[in-house]
Chains A and B, each alone.
Chain A
Amino acid sequence: MLPDFTNPADWLPWAFASLMGLSILIYVILDGFDLGVGILFPLAEPEERDRMIGSIGPFWDANETWLVLAVGLLLVAFPVAHGMILSTLYLPVFIMLVGLILRGVAFEFRAKARDQHKRLWNRLFFVGSLGTALAQGWMLGMYVMGLETTLATYAFAALTAVFLAVGYSFIGSTWLIHKTEGALQLKAVQWGKESLWGVVLGIGAVSLATPFVSARIFEKWFTFPEVLYLAPLPVLAGALVVALWVMLRRMPYAEDRRSWLPFAVASTLFALAYLGMAYSFYPYVVPERLTIYEAAAAPESLLIILIGACFVVPVILGYSVLAYVIFRGKATALRYD
Chain B
Amino acid sequence: MEALDTLLLSRIQFAANISFHILFPTITIALGWVLFFFRIRFAQTQDDKWMAAYRFWVKVFALSFAMGVVSGITMSFQFGTNWPGFMETVGNIAGPLLAYEVLTAFFLEAVFIGIMLFGFSRVPGWLHMLATGLVAFGTTMSAFWIIVLNSWMHTPQGFEMVDGVAFATSWWEIVFNPSMPYRFAHMMLASFLTVAFLVAGVSAFRWLIGDRAREVPAMLKTGVALGALLIPLQIYLGDLHGLNTKEYQPAKVAAMEGLWETDTNVPLLLFALPDEETRLNDLEIGIPGLASLILTHEWDGELTGLNEFVTEDGEVLHPPVAPVFWSFRTMVGTGVAMLLLSWASLWFMWRRRDRHQGRDPGQWFAVEGLPKPILWALVPMAFSGWVATLAGWYTTEIGRQPWLVQGVMTTEMAVADVPAPMVMGTLVTYLAIYAALLLAYISVVIYLARKAAKGDDAPADDMTHSGKAEVEAISPAE
Partner-B contacts on A (CB < 8 A): 47, 50, 53-54, 57-59, 61-62, 64-65, 67-69, 71-77, 79-80, 82-87, 90-91, 93-94, 97-98, 100-102, 104-105, 107-109, 111-115, 118, 297-298, 300-301, 304-305, 308-309, 312-313, 316, 319-320, 322-323, 326-327, 333-337
Q: Is the Cβ of B104 less than 8 Å from the Cβ of A308?
A: yes
Given A57-B114, A111-B464, A335-B463, A82:B73 Cβ within 8 A = no
Report the minimal beta-carbon distance from B255 to chain A, rounded to whole angstroms.
Answer: 31
Given A87-B84, A101-B433, A327-B122, A72:B92 Cβ within 8 A = no
**A61: chain B residues within 8 A (beta carbon):** 65-66, 69, 110, 113-114
With both beta carbons as reference points, the residue of chain A lying nearest to B94 in the complex is identified as: A76
- Judge whether B226 is part of the interface by a CB distance below 8 angstroms: no
**A322: chain B residues within 8 A (beta carbon):** 111
- Judge whether B312 is part of the interface by a CB distance below 8 angstroms: no
Q: Which residue, A83, A91, A316, A337, has most C-beta atoms of chain B within 10 A?
A: A337
Q: Is the Cβ of A334 less than 8 Å from the Cβ of B95?
A: no
Q: A94 to B10: give the CA distance in the assembly, Å.
A: 14
- Judge whether B322 is part of the interface by a CB distance below 8 angstroms: no
**B462: chain A residues within 8 A (beta carbon):** 111-112, 334-337
Given A105-B70, A336-B120, A301:B102 Cβ within 8 A = no
Contact check: which of B168, B448, B459, B470 meets A300 at CB < 8 Å? B168
Contact check: which of A102, A114, A308 meets B100 at CB < 8 Å? A308
Indicate with 1 or 0, residue by residue over B435-478, a CB within 8 angstroms of chain A CB atoms. Answer: 00100100010011000000000011011111100101010000
Given A83-B416, A301-B93, A113:B114 Cβ within 8 A = no
Q: A133 to B119: give the CA distance in the assembly, Å.
A: 29
With both beta carbons as reference points, the residue of chain A lying nearest to B165 in the complex is identified as: A298
Q: Is the Cβ of B96 less than 8 Å from the Cβ of A58?
A: no
Q: Is the Cβ of B422 less than 8 Å from the Cβ of A58?
A: no
Contact check: which of A67, A98, A111, A305 meets B95 at CB < 8 Å? A305
- Judge whether B98 is part of the interface by a CB distance below 8 angstroms: yes
Report the minimal beta-carbon distance from A260 to chain B, rounded to whole angstroms.
Answer: 19
**B331: chain A residues within 8 A (beta carbon):** none
Report the minimal beta-carbon distance from B405 to chain A, rounded to whole angstroms.
Answer: 15
Given A308-B100, A333-B466, A82:B110 Cβ within 8 A = no
- Judge whether B426 is part of the interface by a CB distance below 8 angstroms: yes
**Nearest 3 interchain pairs by C-beta:** A83-B84, A76-B95, A86-B80
**A54: chain B residues within 8 A (beta carbon):** 463-464
Range of interface residues on B (Cβ < 8 Å): 35 or more
Q: Is the Cβ of A304 less than 8 Å from the Cβ of B171?
A: yes
Report the minimal beta-carbon distance from A92 to chain B, rounded to whole angstroms.
Answer: 10
**A53: chain B residues within 8 A (beta carbon):** 463
Partner-A contacts on B (CB < 8 A): 55, 58-59, 62-63, 65-67, 69-74, 76-77, 79-81, 84-85, 87-88, 91-96, 98-100, 102-104, 106-108, 110-115, 117-123, 165, 167-168, 171, 416-418, 422, 426, 429, 433, 437, 440, 444, 447-448, 459-460, 462-467, 470, 472, 474
Q: A102 to B114: give the CA distance in the assembly, Å.
A: 19
Given A82-B79, A98-B429, A319-B111, A326:B119 Cβ within 8 A = yes
**B84: chain A residues within 8 A (beta carbon):** 79, 82-84, 86-87
Q: Is the Cβ of A113 less than 8 Å from the Cβ of B440?
A: yes
Q: What are 19 of the A-B contact pairs (CB < 8 Å)?
A: A50-B465, A54-B463, A58-B115, A62-B110, A69-B107, A76-B91, A76-B95, A77-B95, A79-B84, A83-B87, A87-B416, A90-B426, A108-B63, A115-B465, A298-B167, A301-B95, A326-B115, A334-B462, A337-B472
Report the minimal beta-carbon distance from A65 to chain B, rounded to whole angstroms.
Answer: 4
Q: A182 to B427: give the CA distance in the assembly, Å.
A: 46
**A77: chain B residues within 8 A (beta carbon):** 95
Q: A279 to B171: give the CA distance in the assembly, Å.
A: 36
Q: Is the Cβ of B117 less than 8 Å from the Cβ of A47?
A: no
Contact check: which of A74, A87, A94, A100 meets B70 at CB < 8 Å? A100
Report the minimal beta-carbon distance from A47 to chain B, rounded to whole angstroms.
Answer: 6
**B120: chain A residues within 8 A (beta carbon):** 336-337
Report the minimal beta-carbon distance from B115 to chain A, rounded to whole angstroms.
Answer: 6
Q: Which residue, B114, B426, B447, B465, has most C-beta atoms of chain A within 10 A?
A: B114
Q: Is the Cβ of B77 less than 8 Å from the Cβ of A333?
A: no
With both beta carbons as reference points, the residue of chain A lying nearest to B83 in the complex is identified as: A83
Contact check: which of B76, B118, B123, B426 meets A68 at CB < 8 Å? B76
Q: A312 to B103: give the CA distance in the assembly, Å.
A: 6
**B103: chain A residues within 8 A (beta carbon):** 69, 308-309, 312-313, 316
Q: A326 to B76: give the CA distance in the assembly, Å.
A: 31
Q: Is the Cβ of A112 less than 8 Å from the Cβ of B77?
A: no
Q: Is the Cβ of A305 less than 8 Å from the Cβ of B464?
A: no
Q: A202 to B119: give the CA distance in the assembly, Å.
A: 37
Q: A225 to B63: give the CA distance in the assembly, Å.
A: 55
Contact check: which of B80, B426, B464 meets A85 at CB < 8 Å? B80
**B94: chain A residues within 8 A (beta carbon):** 76
Q: Is the Cβ of B55 less than 8 Å from the Cβ of A109?
A: no
With both beta carbons as reference points, the residue of chain B lying nearest to A320 in the complex is identified as: B111
**B167: chain A residues within 8 A (beta carbon):** 298, 300-301
**A109: chain B residues within 8 A (beta carbon):** 63, 440, 444
Q: A59 to B111: give the CA distance in the assembly, Å.
A: 7
Contact check: which of B77, B118, B444, B464 meets A86 at CB < 8 Å? B77
Q: Is the Cβ of B118 less than 8 Å from the Cβ of A300?
A: no
Q: Is the Cβ of A72 less than 8 Å from the Cβ of B102?
A: yes
Q: Is the Cβ of B70 less than 8 Å from the Cβ of A101?
A: yes
**A115: chain B residues within 8 A (beta carbon):** 465
**B55: chain A residues within 8 A (beta carbon):** 336-337
Q: Is the Cβ of B466 less than 8 Å from the Cβ of A69?
A: no
**B437: chain A residues within 8 A (beta carbon):** 101, 105
With both beta carbons as reference points, the residue of chain B lying nearest to A120 in the complex is identified as: B440
Q: A102 to B66: give the CA distance in the assembly, Å.
A: 10
Q: Is the Cβ of B93 less than 8 Å from the Cβ of A69?
A: no
Q: A312 to B78: give the CA distance in the assembly, Å.
A: 26
**A84: chain B residues within 8 A (beta carbon):** 84
With both beta carbons as reference points, the residue of chain A lying nearest to B440 in the complex is identified as: A109
Q: A322 to B326: give the CA distance in the assembly, Å.
A: 50
Q: A113 to B80: give the CA distance in the assembly, Å.
A: 35
Q: Which residue, B94, B96, B98, B99, has most C-beta atoms of chain A within 10 A?
A: B99
Having A76-B94, A93-B80, A337-B121, one finds 16 other A-B pairs with CB under 8 Å, namely A65-B102, A69-B102, A71-B77, A90-B81, A94-B429, A102-B433, A108-B66, A109-B440, A297-B95, A298-B165, A301-B167, A304-B171, A305-B95, A312-B107, A335-B459, A337-B120
Q: Is the Cβ of B418 less than 8 Å from the Cβ of A337?
A: no
Q: A53 to B263: give the CA distance in the assembly, Å.
A: 64
Q: Is the Cβ of B80 less than 8 Å from the Cβ of A304?
A: no
Contact check: which of A64, A104, A297 meets B91 at CB < 8 Å? A297
Report the minimal beta-carbon distance from B161 to chain A, rounded to whole angstroms.
Answer: 12
Given A301-B93, A335-B464, A336-B459, A72:B74 Cβ within 8 A = no
Contact check: which of B85, B115, B467 meets A323 at CB < 8 Å? B115
Q: A308 to B59: give the CA distance in the assembly, Å.
A: 33
Report the minimal beta-carbon distance from B175 to chain A, rounded to whole angstroms.
Answer: 11
**A104: chain B residues within 8 A (beta carbon):** 66, 69-70
**B79: chain A residues within 8 A (beta carbon):** 75, 82
Q: Is the Cβ of B73 less than 8 Å from the Cβ of A100?
A: yes
